[in-house]
A and B are shown apart, each in its own frame.
Chain A
Amino acid sequence: MATTTSDVQIDIDAHDAHHGPEKGLLRWVKTTNHKDIGTLYLWFAFTMLLIGGAMAMVIRAELFQPGLQLVEPQFFNQMTTLHGLIMVFGAIMPAFVGLANWQIPLMIGAPDMALPRMNNWSFWILPFAGVMLLSTLFMKGGGPAFGWTFYAPLSTTFAPESTDFFIFAIHMLGFSSIMGAINIIATVMNMRAPDMKLMDMPLFVWTWLITAFLLIAAMPVLAGAVTMMLTDRNFGTSFFDAAGGGDPVMFQHIFWFFGHPEVYIMILPAFGVISQIIPTFARKPLFGYSSMVYATASIALLSFVVWAHHMFLTGMPIAGQMYFMYATIMISVPTGVKVFNWVTTMWRGSLTFETPMLWAIAFVILFTIGGFSGLMLGIAPADIQYHDTYFVVAHFHYVLVTGALFSIIAAVYYWLPKWCGRMYNEKLARIHFWWAVISVNVLFFPQHFLGLAGMPRRIPDYATQFADFNMISSIGGFAFGSSFLLLTYIIVSCIRSGEPIEDERVWESAKGLEWTVATPAPYHTFNEPPQKDKILSESSHVGAH
């Protein structure tokens, strides 16, 4: 496919000269531009990733050997709690919203997000929420120490005073997510180029649309849960207090009714990213586009009816256990379809292994391993032995770190050259990839063994038979943690001094409307919507007709 600068782009470039970004710092405070806001989200997420990662280093350092060497148990619990909360709400979710902000308007031929001023709001709430959450560490009695799942009554009657600030931070984070989701739904539903039908949309847009609906349904439930905690703590209600006629297990039902969809909120956009990258480097259209869309939708629907697989041991009646077991393992069917489709997309392609593709392949393999342990965990009687052990820790780190996070890194390598018009250092990027992919397995794979050997999660000290695998895991952890310093260097040096690229397409066989605008992507794009023939010829899922 030849790349030509169309009339439209010349027009946009001229336009751009008049309405470029404002100068100075205020540009970032006042901006309503989807690209600026996407950038803000991504830097925020990266900062939180480093902070949450530093906490993980504290955890792994304490667990390096048995005995307490560095931190007291109470502080250790604050670290595990804040690590989880920051990674989920501060790193993974904002990073995907950042990708959505940059990419969705570019991929559907829209000039910007539908509600640009609200977009500014949804971002700027985040830093305040993040700072408030972190500030609890310095309050009397310390920060929240009850796990990212904050089960009552440990998080109500027995929690430190700072918990009220934690609740407020969660409210703000939730507010930001809901506004972001509203914006994405409105953008995708209403702002597409008039000639783009829903089934013409790239998969990244599809998965984000479905994710946005999950957010709309799940985040208010979380907000409800923390609101009830707040009133239980301060206003004498007893939603979750048995002494007052409430039920602590009810808290878990509500939490996981939010929590399980939440984990899919963190993985569906990842599916989208991988579905963009693999066809590009396999030089072949995505296999089974429509089945990918249906699989995503059915995963999303199923995700609302499986929540109690986190609660098999709370004293659920046997019928409940059976139902939640069947529903849970059913999710592996559409999940499997996705994996099969990716593999088949690669089959008889013409593969090259640029950095984004390396990350995508690692994603497919390692995420699938996380899916296997998920399947095992879903078997109710077996979960008796797995629940609340390091086996669960291994499971969710495979799906979230080598799943969600890997896809974000893949996405950044894939689109960064388009965003900033410069190429990253391919050699360093490869070293970074191998460094990270090896260390992450040294870090998390032994945790399966630890869990099976009987080590519970969320403990600061452990029996001596767990010593060896913990030490290996910690060594992997330090190596993986340090790989992010290299990543930081690669990204910063790419933005500041990477080799300039002129080609719109960046990757030889990439398809999609984002590759038809100039490189680097101008401040304003698609003031004129793209036409039907262009939309069709750029769709990565329809063969090269």
Chain B
Amino acid sequence: MSQNLTQEERQRRGARKTALIVAVVAFGIFLFTIYSTYKQ
């Protein structure tokens, strides 16, 4: 059981990292959209 918990904990840590990267990408796309329209 405890071994599995660390396994799940490991997974969740990885998941948070993935989520952060994806969120940053999304925000980047948002900024890029406005920036590129502004430049036309």
Contact = CB atoms under 8 A, between A and B. Distances in A.
Interface of A: 111, 114-115, 118, 178, 181-183, 185-187, 189-191, 194, 216-217, 219-221, 223-225, 227-228, 239, 246-247, 250, 254, 527-529
Given A224-B37, A254-B33, 9 more contacts: A115-B15, A182-B22, A186-B22, A189-B15, A190-B15, A191-B15, A194-B7, A224-B29, A224-B30
B37 A250 contact: yes
Interface in B1-40: 4, 7-8, 11-12, 14-16, 18-19, 22-23, 25-31, 33-34, 37-38, 40
A182 B11 contact: no
User: Considering the complex of A and B, which 4 residue pairs feature the smallest CB-CB distances, nearest first?
Assistant: A224-B33, A114-B15, A220-B30, A190-B15
A182 B34 contact: no
Contacts of B19: 114-115, 118, 182-183, 185-186
6 contacts: A186-B22, A190-B11, A220-B33, A223-B33, A227-B34, A254-B37
Contact of A217 (B4, B16, B29, B31): B29
B2 to A, nearest CB: 12
Contacts of A246: 40
B15 A225 contact: no
Grouping DSSP codes into helix (H, G, I), strand (E, B) and loop, the B interface class, with mixed when no group exceeds half, is helix
Contacts of B22: 181-182, 185-186, 216
A532 to B, nearest CB: 15
Contacts of A187: 15
Contact of A186 (B4, B18, B26, B38): B18
A172 B5 CA distance: 35
Contacts of B38: 239
A187 B14 CA distance: 10
B19 to A, nearest CB: 4
A190 B33 contact: no
Nearest to B10: A190
Contact of A221 (B12, B18, B33, B40): B33
B12 A114 contact: yes
Contact of B8 (A111, A178, A186, A224): A111
A220, A225, A228, A246, most chain B CB atoms within 10 A? A220
